[in-house]
């Protein structure tokens, strides 16, 4: 028998880490991943939760010339509605805008989406394509210490992250993509809204004189974690976006993902959809 | 299971009234509204954020009250379906739903109306595409949505804008 | 006359410029209360000292129950009763008499109810059922029809050693003759899935015994009087001691036509505790522990002459009945009527096998076996047209039923607007322009568009499946012209209350605001068979109309006496007694009423009516004029198919329905639009997935209802055929709009891609697989 006996909403990170580290309280942000799991009894309610939304400085979007820095408690609706983010890194704003529905986007946080570590987390794919890093606050002897983890190292398996007990994800940072970069992000589902991705793909490419100089490809829902597409990237860099290049890139993508079959789709169909989305994105990028 | 635990004081504002309650730490906002405040207009159809029947405004933003802990609302303001009508007169959004046939069994209606109301707080004359997007998290099994969309659009200066 | 649904913004009420209430856009009378959140649904009702009930399900598909230990549950604080099969009298019920409230010996599907608890809070009840320890001996699971029919298959119910509890046969004409007359014959197998009603308000009940032994139920049933009768037998309370109160319900769609095991269980808990017990399902329970639409496999063979004339139709249906029987098993009775009578066809045969498996089972669901049949039939008619090189519209028009015909199954079509429906729906969809050959891709994309059509046939004037299909009305008028109509009909959100009020107000010349409809308490309301078969507007409407006519007659006689006129010189309008010729008001209705009451005669106006439709129960061969009239309609769907992903998007639906006469334009549009949305979900996204007897997607996350985004452009038209039997000429239509959606979409997919989809739902994955198959085949053909 489990019961939630304590709810607290401290104002400082130290208090959060103390609660999470010492008493084992569950960190609670928007609750949109946690609460359904409790009500459906997939996991028992924890004895204590510590709400991190009252902590100062944990939400907001800062866009400078060089870098974009987003607080962990920033809402999906905040990402969607931020004109600055739409300009600087539209790929992330777009992914956030396609999560669930307004009610969820008004509660779901960026940090929660990442810390929940679902292979289908919609913001993970663009963040991988953006080479993001996350700042993690760790309880140290003299207050909090901070460490930086690259987004690809952050995800370690379904529901598993690089966070140690008591650690808090505080910020997500990435370099502002070059103005010339083209981007695309798409998720595939059977409905236009309220869909957990069957598969998703994000792409950022920079080309000069038609030759691709830099490419980032990432996938969601087709591996135990959101995945960076090293093979697909390699198939692009140094080449022009010819049919052959696109074909090679798609083949590489199909080879480097490891989808499973479940109630939403079969492995084969997921693989197929990654190929279709990627091909269409690259064809669009070529301009046509 | 939720064993009997000590309740905690909660003070917040509901439909403009200040309210004090003792709730258990795991109670959802939906439960506090329905069970403690007898504001049964807020419905629950799934308790996992999928149907929107429990939609209310929390500090002006529409949320699923089944996914909010009651204790999170300390010091905040909540508006429910019971808070829209003034002096016994339906709010224009409620009237539009009635007159457009947007209500059949009515179970989705409070959540729909609150979500549509929230949309119009931010966007006084939404396009049809904006209305569809705003209501994408509210399920209705009876109406097929057409009359709901029409009801919301009818408030755009008395006429609908299609795009 | 054809009416178009145009602007949806205007509201007509009597007293404004519109003279007649019939055909107006009348908002539902209960809508304002619902809009402000004051309507009390079942889960909003609390009775003093009420307890909360919870059921323990077997959660295994096939097993013997060896032992049940309830003591850990009973020992919990706050638990007031724990019951198992050992504590109750096990009365068999359900269409197959193969169900009991609780199961004590054998489990035949995961949802089998094993034990139940009543406790102080829902949480305690929930924890208590988890603590009940049941020892099972698992038996081999029969997960499919094939496994059930294999030799040496485990026997699921002893009464059916071959696992085939029912077979039904129907025929008219002679198939062999039909075959010999045919120039083309086509044959296909169609399959359809389990779908859930997904009422937004979940199932539930409050049961409560009074000190006099009377049982009061707050029930969501759609059939209160049959329910009383059935439940009485199961729980051992005489029907006259049962009161059924029907609170507003969060959706019905056929889900509440049967007595479900949780209902007697809740009554047994109330009896065991002596306190009111409320049981309300979670969404998850709603998905796995309530019945679904009946899944069907339909093998269909049909033929036509070179000119398109249909010759014969040979149907074999196989039903996965699941582990117990609710109404699902009987849905082929309605399928039959579509196969035999939607179009003229001289030779028809249908054979049905109903097969036990260890899956969950099915009950009634809007359309009742008709959507499945119409999917098969209308898909195959398209194929026949293709084989014959005919336009799908022409082949349908050639064979369409006409007014005055008696169909092969003995149904007499007094009015029939099918041909008009076909032409109108096609015209509005731009059929001539858009439906031509394989469609071209949209722009440079890999998406193609196409058009498809399908028609429907359904009962429109009730369905006499019991000896009475009637409905009673008790009508009384107070001293001020306020009218209370006690109707047998039940309101399930469909708007029957408003239609009845309109009909009465119209007849009595009173504003609709003066009419109160009482329809939710079996102690007050007269008998009615229940809300099903789209019968309420027709049957309850006729009953109310006749009661109102009686009352009007009495009023006019009294007025004539008072005014020294003849009754037939007078009429009622706008709250007054008026001169029939000139329409001049003479005296207010209220004054006449008070004159009757307080004057010499001391009379009040009351009228009672029991309306029984002129339909007949079918004979043993399923033939007969089962309904007082029949509804027809046609939908044309326009779709866009993504050739790379298999995603089908419905762009538009043009629908034309023979509704007899529109009584409430707003209400009828709502029924059609809602039915279409359910139909789109049925066609494209919805499926209760069952693997090895288990439901694997029991939530809205993975059971996908359509959302606001998927509502296509709709063009609705009503074909008014003024059926002489209907109230003001109206027919019932509630179920109809869902019926033809799937084949219209599937035919449009064929038109767009040349690929014929025979299995529902048309998921992207399934469509893509078929597209790939046909590409392979084409490649093979060109290579070879
Ligand atoms: C109906 C519905 C639809 C959804 N649709 C989508 C969708 O389309 N796409 C999608 O990606 N997701 C979807 N989700 C999932 C969910 O909304 C998102 O993952 C959301 O971003 C989670 O954020 P949260 O703040 O609500 O997390 P919470 O539920 O508060 O937390 C999630 C997890 O992260 C931990 N955590 C949260 N913040 C931190 C932090 N700063 N540091 C350390 N640990 C932390 C929590 O302890 C918990 O384990 C959906 C959920 C629902 C209910
Ligand atoms: S009850 Fe909250 S979203 Fe369904
Ligand atoms: S009106 Fe019934 S669910 Fe919307």
Minimum distance, in Å, between the CA of residue C338 and any CA atom of chain A: 31
| Residue A169 · residue A115 · CB < 8 Å | yes
Q: What residues of chain B lie within 8 A of the CB of C35, using their CB?
A: 90, 94-95, 97-98, 103, 106, 109, 113
Mean pLDDT of C205-223: 97
Question: What's the token pair of residue A143?
Answer: 């207050």
Structural domain contains residue C191: no
Same structural domain for residues B74 and B14?
Answer: yes
Question: What distances in angstroms separate CA C482 from CA A179, C504, C515, C670, one per listed residue?
Answer: 73, 11, 6, 28
Same structural domain for residues C688 and C706?
Answer: yes
Torsional sign, CA C403, C404, C405, C406: positive
Report the residue among A40, A76, A112, A119 best suited for mutation to probe ligand 1: largest number of ligand atoms under 8 A from its CB.
Answer: A112
Same structural domain for residues B98 and B148?
Answer: yes
Which of A154-163, C547-556, C592-601 shows the lowest mean pLDDT across its residues? Answer: C592-601
What CATH number does residue B116 fall under?
1.10.150.120
CA atoms within 13 A on the CB side of C86: 7
Question: What distances in angstroms separate CA B133 from CA A267, B64, B96, B126, one per listed residue?
Answer: 30, 16, 19, 10
What stretches of chain B adopt beta strand conformation (E)?
Answer: 8-14, 17-23, 55-58, 61-64, 77-79
B49 touches chain A (CB under 8 A): yes
Minimum distance, in Å, between the CA of residue C52 and any CA atom of chain A: 17
Structural domain contains residue B3: no
Same structural domain for residues C702 and C674?
Answer: yes
Average pLDDT, chain C: 95
Average pLDDT, chain B: 94
| Residue C47 · residue B52 · CB < 8 Å | no
Question: pTM of the prediction?
Answer: 0.96
Same structural domain for residues C723 and C699?
Answer: yes
What CATH number does residue C773 fall under?
3.30.365.10
| Residue C742 · residue C683 · CB < 8 Å | yes
Chain centroid to CA A137: 19
Check residue C778 and give its pLDDT: 87
> Which candidate in A32, A40, A103, A106 is best for mutational testing of the B interface (most B CBs within 10 A)?
A103
Which band of pLDDT confidence, cut at 50, 70 and 90, is reported for residue B4? low
Structural domain contains residue B145: yes
Q: Whose CA is nearest to atom 3 of ligand 2?
A: B49
Structural domain contains residue C105: yes
The residue from C587, C611, C635 where one domain ends is C611
Same structural domain for residues C453 and C555?
Answer: no
Tell me the C-alpha distance between C646 and A207, whole Å.
32
Number of structural domains in chain B: 2
Structural domain contains residue C163: no
Same structural domain for residues B47 and B112?
Answer: no
Atom of ligand 3 nearest to the CA of B104: 1
Structural domain contains residue C170: no
Question: What's the token pair of residue A71?
Answer: 């607080």
Check residue A176 and give its pLDDT: 96
Question: What distances in angstroms separate CA B127 from CA B124, B133, B149, C218, C712, one per listed residue?
Answer: 10, 10, 10, 43, 16
Which band of pLDDT confidence, cut at 50, 70 and 90, is reported for residue B5? confident
Selected residue with higher pLDDT from C438 and C771: C771
Atom of ligand 2 nearest to the CA of A103: 3
Ligand 3 within 6 A of CB of B138: no
Same structural domain for residues B16 and B68?
Answer: yes
Which band of pLDDT confidence, cut at 50, 70 and 90, is reported for residue B113? very high
Which of A20-24, B141-145, C466-470, C561-565 shows the lowest mean pLDDT across its residues? Answer: A20-24
- Read off the pLDDT of residues C719-749 as tens digits, 9 standing for 90 and up: 999 999 999 999 999 999 999 999 999 999 9
Check residue B3 and give its pLDDT: 57
Residue B127 lies in domain: 92-157
The verdict on ipTM greater than 0.90 is yes
pLDDT value at C126 more than 60:
yes
Structural domain contains residue C738: yes
Check residue C2 and give its pLDDT: 40
- Read off the pLDDT of residues C221-264 as tens digits, 9 standing for 90 and up: 999 999 999 999 999 999 999 999 999 999 999 999 999 999 99
Same structural domain for residues B77 and B111?
Answer: no
The residue from C611, C643, C672 where one domain ends is C611
Helix (H, G, I), strand (E, B) or coil at C474: strand
Chain A and chain C share a number of CB contacts under 8 A equal to 40
Question: What distances in angstroms separate CA C154 from CA C112, C143, C354, C357, one per listed residue?
Answer: 18, 11, 16, 10
Give me the residue label for tokens 């004037």.
C461
Same structural domain for residues C641 and C597?
Answer: no
Our CA dihedral for C689, C690, C694, C699, rounded to 10 degrees, sits at: 10
Torsional sign, CA A82, A87, A92, A95: positive
pLDDT value at C95 more than 50:
yes
Give me the residue label for tokens 């210490």.
A145
The residue from B52, B83, B114 where one domain ends is B83
Structural domain contains residue B137: yes
Ligand 2 within 6 A of CB of B66: yes
Tell me the C-alpha distance between A236 and C174, whole Å.
68
| Nearest by Cα to A17 from A52, A53, A45 | A52
Number of structural domains in chain C: 3
| Nearest by Cα to C488 from C618, C599, C356, C610 | C610
Minimum distance, in Å, between the CA of residue B82 and any CA atom of chain C: 6
Residue C218 lies in domain: 42-139+202-248+256-288
Same structural domain for residues C46 and C98?
Answer: yes
pLDDT value at C783 more than 80:
no
Structural domain contains residue C631: yes
Which band of pLDDT confidence, cut at 50, 70 and 90, is reported for residue C534? confident
Same structural domain for residues B106 and B149?
Answer: yes
DSSP string, C322-356: ESS-SGGGGTHHHHHHHHHHSB--SEEEEEEEEEE
DSSP string, B30-66: HHIIIIIS--TTS--SSSSSSS-TTEEEETTEEEEGG
The residue from C588, C611, C634 where one domain ends is C611
Same structural domain for residues B15 and B77?
Answer: yes
Same structural domain for residues B44 and B99?
Answer: no
Same structural domain for residues B153 and B133?
Answer: yes
Instruction: Tell me: cis bond preceding C761? Omega within 30 of 0 counts.
Output: yes
Mean pLDDT of C589-599: 95
Number of H helices, E strands in chain C: 19, 29
* Residues in C 100-159 with any Cβ partner in B closer than 8 A: 123-124, 126-127, 130
Helix (H, G, I), strand (E, B) or coil at C479: coil
Same structural domain for residues B73 and B109?
Answer: no
Tell me the C-alpha distance between C213 and C208, whole Å.
10
| Residue C684 · residue B111 · CB < 8 Å | no
Q: What residues of chain A lie within 8 A of the CB of C645, using their CB?
A: 188, 273, 276
Structural domain contains residue C166: no
Selected residue with higher pLDDT from C459 and C782: C459
Which band of pLDDT confidence, cut at 50, 70 and 90, is reported for residue B162? very low
Same structural domain for residues C643 and C750?
Answer: yes
- Read off the pLDDT of residues C355-414 as tens digits, 9 standing for 90 and up: 999 999 999 999 999 999 999 999 999 999 999 999 999 999 999 999 999 999 999 999
Question: What distances in angstroms separate CA A231 from CA A225, A277, C56, C696, one per listed residue?
Answer: 16, 16, 51, 35
pLDDT value at C10 more than 50:
no
Mean pLDDT of C311-324: 98
Same structural domain for residues B108 and B74?
Answer: no
Structural domain contains residue B31: yes
Structural domain contains residue B17: yes
Check residue C442 and give its pLDDT: 78
What CATH number does residue B54 fall under?
3.10.20.30
Structural domain contains residue C165: no
Structural domain contains residue B163: no
Mean pLDDT of C271-298: 98
Structural domain contains residue B2: no
| Residue C245 · residue C216 · CB < 8 Å | yes
- Read off the pLDDT of residues C406-435 as tens digits, 9 standing for 90 and up: 999 999 999 999 999 999 999 999 999 988
Question: What's the token pair of residue C166?
Answer: 């029912």
Which chains are within 8 Å of C by 3+ CB pairs? A, B
Check residue C438 and give its pLDDT: 57
The residue from B63, B83, B103 where one domain ends is B83
Q: Are strands C347-356 and C310-322 parallel, antiparallel or unpaired?
A: parallel
Q: Which residues of A144-165 are buried (b: 16+ CB within 10 A; e: fewer)?
A: beeeebebbebbeeeeebbbee
Give me the residue label for tokens 């704003």.
A93
| Nearest by Cα to C720 from C659, C668, C667 | C659
- Read off the pLDDT of residues A190-241 as tens digits, 9 standing for 90 and up: 898 999 999 999 999 999 999 999 999 999 999 999 999 999 999 999 999 9
Same structural domain for residues C239 and C301?
Answer: no
Laid out side by side, the sheet with A211-220 consists of: A182-188, A199-208, A211-220, A227-228
Same structural domain for residues B19 and B63?
Answer: yes
Same structural domain for residues C753 and C632?
Answer: yes
Structural domain contains residue B162: no
Helix (H, G, I), strand (E, B) or coil at A256: helix
Torsional sign, CA C408, C413, C417, C419: positive
């Amino acid at each position: 028998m489990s019961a939630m006996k304590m709810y607290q909403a401290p104002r400082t990170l130290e208090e959060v880490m103390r609660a999470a580290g010492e008493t084992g309280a569950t960190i609670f942000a928007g609750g949109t991943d946690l609460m359904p799991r409790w009500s459906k009894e997939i996991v028992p309610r924890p004895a204590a939760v510590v709400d991190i939304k009252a902590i100062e400085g944990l939400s907001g979007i800062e866009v400078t010339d060089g870098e974009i820095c987003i607080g962990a408690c920033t809402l999906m609706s905040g990402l969607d509605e931020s004109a600055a983010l739409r300009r600087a890194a539209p790929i992330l704003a777009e992914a956030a805008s396609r999560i669930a529905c307004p009610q969820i986007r008004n509660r779901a946080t960026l940090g929660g989406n990442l810390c929940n570590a679902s292979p289908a987390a919609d913001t993970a794919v663009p963040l991988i394509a953006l080479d993001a890093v996350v700042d993690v606050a760790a309880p140290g002897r003299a207050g909090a210490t901070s460490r930086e983890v690259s987004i690809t190292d952050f995800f370690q398996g379904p529901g598993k992250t690089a966070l140690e007990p008591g650690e808090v994800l505080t910020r997500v940072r990435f370099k502002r993509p070059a103005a010339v970069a083209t981007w695309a992000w798409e998720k595939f589902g059977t409905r236009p809204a309220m869909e957990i991705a069957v598969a998703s793909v994000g792409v950022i490419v920079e080309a000069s004189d038609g030759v691709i100089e830099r490419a980032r490809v990432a996938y969601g829902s087709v591996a135990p974690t959101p995945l960076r597409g090293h093979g697909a990237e390699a198939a692009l860099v140094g080449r022009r976006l010819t049919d052959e290049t696109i074909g090679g890139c798609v083949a590489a993508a199909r080879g480097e993902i490891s989808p499973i079959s479940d109630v939403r789709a079969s492995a084969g169909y997921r693989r197929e959809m990654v190929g279709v989305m990627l091909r269409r994105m690259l064809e669009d990028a070529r301009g046509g | 299971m939720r064993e009997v635990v000590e309740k905690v004081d909660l003070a917040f504002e509901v439909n403009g009234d200040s309210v004090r309650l003792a709730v258990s730490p795991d109670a959802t906002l939906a439960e506090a509204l329905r069970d403690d405040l007898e504001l049964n207009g807020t419905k629950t159809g799934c308790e996992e954020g999928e149907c929107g029947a429990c939609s209310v405004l929390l500090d002006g933003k529409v949320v699923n009250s089944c996914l909010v802990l009651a204790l999170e609302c300390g010091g905040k303001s909540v508006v429910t379906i019971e808070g829209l009508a003034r002096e016994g007169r339906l709010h224009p959004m409620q009237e539009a739903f009635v007159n457009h046939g947007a209500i059949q069994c009515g179970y989705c209606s409070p959540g729909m109306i609150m979500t549509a109301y929230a949309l119009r707080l931010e966007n006084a004359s939404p396009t049809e595409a904006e209305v569809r997007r705003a209501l994408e998290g509210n399920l209705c099994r009876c109406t097929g949505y057409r009359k709901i969309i029409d009801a919301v659009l009818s408030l755009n200066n008395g006429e609908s804008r299609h795009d | 006359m054809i009416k178009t649904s145009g602007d949806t913004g205007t509201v007509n009420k009597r007293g404004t410029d519109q003279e007649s209430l019939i055909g107006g856009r009348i908002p539902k009378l209960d809508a304002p209360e619902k809009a402000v959140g004051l309507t009390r649904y079942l889960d909003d009702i609390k009775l003093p000292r009420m307890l909360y009930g919870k059921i323990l399900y077997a959660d295994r598909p096939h097993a013997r129950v060896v032992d049940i230990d309830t003591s850990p549950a009973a020992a919990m604080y706050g638990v007031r009763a724990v019951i198992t099969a050992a504590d109750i009298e096990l009365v068999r019920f359900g269409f197959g008499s193969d169900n009991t409230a609780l199961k004590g010996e054998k489990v035949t599907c995961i949802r089998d109810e094993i034990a139940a608890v009543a406790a102080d809070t829902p949480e305690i009840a929930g924890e208590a059922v988890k603590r009940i320890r049941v020892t099972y001996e698992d038996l081999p699971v029969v997960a499919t029809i094939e496994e059930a029919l294999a030799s040496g298959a485990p026997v699921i119910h002893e009464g059916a050693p071959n696992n085939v509890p029912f077979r039904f046969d129907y025929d008219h004409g002679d198939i062999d003759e039909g075959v010999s007359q045919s120039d083309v014959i086509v044959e296909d197998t169609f399959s359809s899935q389990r779908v859930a009603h997904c009422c937004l308000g979940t199932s539930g009940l409050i049961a409560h015994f009074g000190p006099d032994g009377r049982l009061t139920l707050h029930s969501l049933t759609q059939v209160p009087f049959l329910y009383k009768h059935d439940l009485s037998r199961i729980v051992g309370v005489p029907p006259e001691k049962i009161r059924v109160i029907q609170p507003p319900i969060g959706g019905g769609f056929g889900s509440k036509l049967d007595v479900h095991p949780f209902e007697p269980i809740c009554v047994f808990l109330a009896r065991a505790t002596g306190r009111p017990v409320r049981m309300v399902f979670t969404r998850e329970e709603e998905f796995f522990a309530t019945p679904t639409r009946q899944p069907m496999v339909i093998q269909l063979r049909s033929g036509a002459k070179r000119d398109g004339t249909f010759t014969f139709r040979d149907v074999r249906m196989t039903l996965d009945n699941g582990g117990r029987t609710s109404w699902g098993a009987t849905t082929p009775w309605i399928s039959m009527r579509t196969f035999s009578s939607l179009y003229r066809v001289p030779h028809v045969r249908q054979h049905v096998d109903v097969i036990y498996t260890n899956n969950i089972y099915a009950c009634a669901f809007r359309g009742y076996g008709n959507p499945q049949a119409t999917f098969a039939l209308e898909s195959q008619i398209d194929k026949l047209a293709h084989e014959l090189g005919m336009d799908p519209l022409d082949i349908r028009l050639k064979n369409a039923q006409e007014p005055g015909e008696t169909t092969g199954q003995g149904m007499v079509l007094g009015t029939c607007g099918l041909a008009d429906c076909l032409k109108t729906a096609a015209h509005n969809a731009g059929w001539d322009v858009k439906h031509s050959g394989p469609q071209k891709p949209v722009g440079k994309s890999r998406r193609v568009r196409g058009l498809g059509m399908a028609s429907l046939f359904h009962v429109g004037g009730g369905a006499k499946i019991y000896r009475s299909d009637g409905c009673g009305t008790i009508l009384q008028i107070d001293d001020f012209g306020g009218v209370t109509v006690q109707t047998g009909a039940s309101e399930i959100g469909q708007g029957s209350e408003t239609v009845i009020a309109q009909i009465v107000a119209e007849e009595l010349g009173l504003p609709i605001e003066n009419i109160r409809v009482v329809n939710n308490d079996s102690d007050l309301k007269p008998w009615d068979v229940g809300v099903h078969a789209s019968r309420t507007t027709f049957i309850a409407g006729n009953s109310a109309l006749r009661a109102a006519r009686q009352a009007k007659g009495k009023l006019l006689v009294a007025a004539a006496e008072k005014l020294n006129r003849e009754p037939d010189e007078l009429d009622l309008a706008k709250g007054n007694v008026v001169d029939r010729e000139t329409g001049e008001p003479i005296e207010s209705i209220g004054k006449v009423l008070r004159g009757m009451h307080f004057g010499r005669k001391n009379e009040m106006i009351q009228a009672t009516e029991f309306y029984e439709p002129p339909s007949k129960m079918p004979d043993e061969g399923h033939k007969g004029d089962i309904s007082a009239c029949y509804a027809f309609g046609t939908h044309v769907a326009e779709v866009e198919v993504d050739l790379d992903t298999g995603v089908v998007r419905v762009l538009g639906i043009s629908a034309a329905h023979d509704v007899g006469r529109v009584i409430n334009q707003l209400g009828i549009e709502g029924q059609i639009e809602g039915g279409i949305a359910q139909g789109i979900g049925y066609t494209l996204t919805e499926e209760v997935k069952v693997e090895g007897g288990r439901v694997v997607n029991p939530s809205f996350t993975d059971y996908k209802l359509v959302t606001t985004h998927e509502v296509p452009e709709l063009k609705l038209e009503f074909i008014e055929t003024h059926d002489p039997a209907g109230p003001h000429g109206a027919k019932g239509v509630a179920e109809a709009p869902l019926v033809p959606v799937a084949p219209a979409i599937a035919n449009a997919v064929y038109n767009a891609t040349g690929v014929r989809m025979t299995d529902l739902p048309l998921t992207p994955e399934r469509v893509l697989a078929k597209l790939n198959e046909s590409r392979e085949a084409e490649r093979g053909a060109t290579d070879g």
